[in-house]
């Protein structure tokens, strides 16, 4: 059994995500507002191809996307064509999947420099091509790291705080509209706002804006 991936604190994951966004800005121009151009960042700055194809799943398995470092001679994000309905039904999942796989490429593949390492324990090997999959039920450390990287990349603090002042975060509709503007799901947006201290989430789903005269709103 190969060793599991090392712990990466959120501060490092956030820094790596922002470094990628800044690199994209140096290449293509300033990103001054949401949504973050995730497709362009993936394809033009990380030099990853994006293709749609059917991905075989085991019984009970749901794979939305995966990254193959050598698909037809080029590192590629493969989006699962069989899950197209899921992407259409759940807003933000396509963008998040791209950002998640970008996280794998940066954190776990070393942007191509780690291809020869085998990539540790949870990698799915098919032939000679190691792949990392976005599986909805996967809670491994590597998948959680890619999830956190994706959240930081799609919802950078400096852009979210500016955009948030234009929305009434004391109501679910305001959070929903901000999520729509960011191109992410409502849950992802709520969790990010909570992490930034702009709302407070409690176990019973209570969100409260951090401002004078807090006005709780049930979400």
Report angle CA 34, 35, 38 to the nearest 5 degrees: 135
Report angle CA 72, 132, 3 to the nearest 5 degrees: 125
Q: How far is CA 85 from CA 19, 49, 82, 93, 203, in A?
A: 33, 22, 8, 11, 31
* pLDDT score, position 141: 87
Going residue by residue through the chain, which has 219 residues, state the pLDDT in tens, using 9 for 90 and above: 334 568 899 999 999 999 999 999 999 999 999 999 999 999 999 999 999 999 999 898 889 999 999 999 999 999 999 999 999 999 999 999 999 999 999 999 999 985 544 443 344 443 334 566 655 555 688 899 999 999 999 999 999 999 999 999 989 999 999 999 999 999 999 999 999 999 998 765 555 544 433 444 433
* pLDDT score, position 39: 98
List, in order, residues 6 or more apart from 173 with CB less than 8 Å away: none
Q: How far is CA 168 from CA 32, 49, 164, 196, in A?
A: 21, 38, 8, 16
Phi, psi dihedral angles at 181 (to 5 degrees): -65, -35
* pLDDT score, position 14: 98
* pLDDT score, position 218: 38
* pLDDT score, position 138: 55
pTM for the predicted model, two decimal places: 0.83
Cα–Cα dist 109/119, whole Å: 7
* pLDDT score, position 178: 98
């Amino acid at each position: 059994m190969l060793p599991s991936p090392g712990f990466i604190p959120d501060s490092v994951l956030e820094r790596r995500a922002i470094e990628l966004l800044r690199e994209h800005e140096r290449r293509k121009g300033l990103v001054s507002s949401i949504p973050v151009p995730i497709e362009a960042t993936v394809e033009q700055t990380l030099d990853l191809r994006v293709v749609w194809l059917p991905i075989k799943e085991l019984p009970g398995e749901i794979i939305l996307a995966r990254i193959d470092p050598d698909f037809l001679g080029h590192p590629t994000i493969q989006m699962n064509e069989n899950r197209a309905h899921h992407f259409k039904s759940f807003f933000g999942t396509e963008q998040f999947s791209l950002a998640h796989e970008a996280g794998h490429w940066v954190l776990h593949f070393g942007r191509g420099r780690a291809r020869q390492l085998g990539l540790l324990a949870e990698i799915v090997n098919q032939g000679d091509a190691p792949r990392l999959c976005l599986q909805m039920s996967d809670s491994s450390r590597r998948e959680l790291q890619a999830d956190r990287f994706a959240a930081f990349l799609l919802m950078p603090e400096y852009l979210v705080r500016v955009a948030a002042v234009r929305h009434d975060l004391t109501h679910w509709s305001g959070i929903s509209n901000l999520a729509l503007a960011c191109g992410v799901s409502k849950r992802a947006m709520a969790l990010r706002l909570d992490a930034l201290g702009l709302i407070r989430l409690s176990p019973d789903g209570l969100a409260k804006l951090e401002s004078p005269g807090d006005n709780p709103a049930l979400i």
